[in-house]
């Protein structure tokens, strides 16, 4: 142990941590007409950066939900599909996030691509995917992940890891590698329909570029610049 005050060490003092963003700016005239097309451009950049080891898991996003009383919760989830309709992720329907979405369908997503000095922030509503779509994705999961979807009662309190490991071992014996695992009835996807999508580009002196698409009633989008 050391008697050194950690707040006097700039290496571990949050207030002393500084990062100057020197990325090129983001101009409204350079944006795609549709936010999902613009997301595709940035996601491709993040995916290419991942191939070079710069970004880790570019499809990782922070998912924020709130219960019926408005109490929020957040966690990191992997986005598994995006298209003009929005974003899709999969989860246990008995998990905390799924239970909160059943009470309150409003949701926020955050893609934190820190090495690129970029963020994408999405607000919208969530609805469950159909069972056919869920089953099609489930079949693409590794065998172990399919078993894990059955073994874990996600978000429930457990006394230790022992029963979790035992449940997985039982499933592994019942469904060995190569044998089809049924889709759990309590597991499936959520499709996020965006109502606003903000593209955040870090700039010098904290004067970041923030351009936000906002959905209009007629299905078109307006773009507005936010002050950093």
Name which of 148, 145, 179 is nearest 165 in CA terms: 148
Point out the catalytic residue in the list 71, 206, 212, 216. Answer: 206
Token duo for residue 76: 């990191």
Whether residue 129 contacts residue 122, with contact meaning beta carbons closer than 8 Å, is answered with no
Residue that is written with structure tokens 């998990």 in the block: 95
The tokens for 196 are 């606003």
Query: Residue 134 and residue 128: Cα distance in Å, rounded?
Result: 9
Active site residue 203: no
The span from the CA of 147 to the CA of 141, in Å, is 10
- The residues with which 91 forms a beta bridge, in sequence order, are 188
Q: What residues act catalytically?
A: 206
């Amino acid at each position: 142990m050391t008697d050194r005050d950690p707040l006097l060490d700039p290496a571990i003092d949050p207030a002393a941590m500084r990062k100057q963003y020197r990325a090129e700016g983001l101009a409204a005239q350079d944006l795609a007409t549709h936010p999902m097309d613009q997301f595709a451009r940035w996601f491709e950049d993040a995916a290419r950066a991942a191939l070079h080891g710069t970004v880790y898991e570019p499809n990782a996003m922070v998912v924020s939900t709130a219960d019926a009383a408005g109490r929020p919760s957040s966690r990191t989830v992997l986005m598994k599909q995006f298209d003009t309709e929005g974003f899709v992720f999969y989860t246990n329907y008995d998990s905390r996030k799924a239970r909160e979405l059943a009470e309150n369908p409003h949701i926020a997503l955050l893609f934190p691509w820190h090495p690129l000095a970029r963020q994408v922030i999405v607000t919208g509503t969530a609805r469950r995917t159909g069972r056919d779509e869920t089953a099609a994705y489930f079949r693409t999961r590794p065998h172990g992940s399919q078993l894990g979807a059955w073994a874990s009662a996600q978000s429930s309190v457990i006394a230790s890891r022992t029963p979790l490991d035992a449940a997985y071992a039982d499933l592994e014996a019942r469904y060995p590698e190569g044998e089809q695992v049924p889709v759990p009835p309590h597991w499936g996807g959520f499709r996020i329909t965006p109502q606003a999508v903000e593209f955040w580009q870090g700039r010098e002196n904290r004067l970041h570029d923030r351009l936000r698409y906002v959905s209009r009633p007629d299905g078109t989008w307006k773009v507005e610049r936010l002050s950093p």
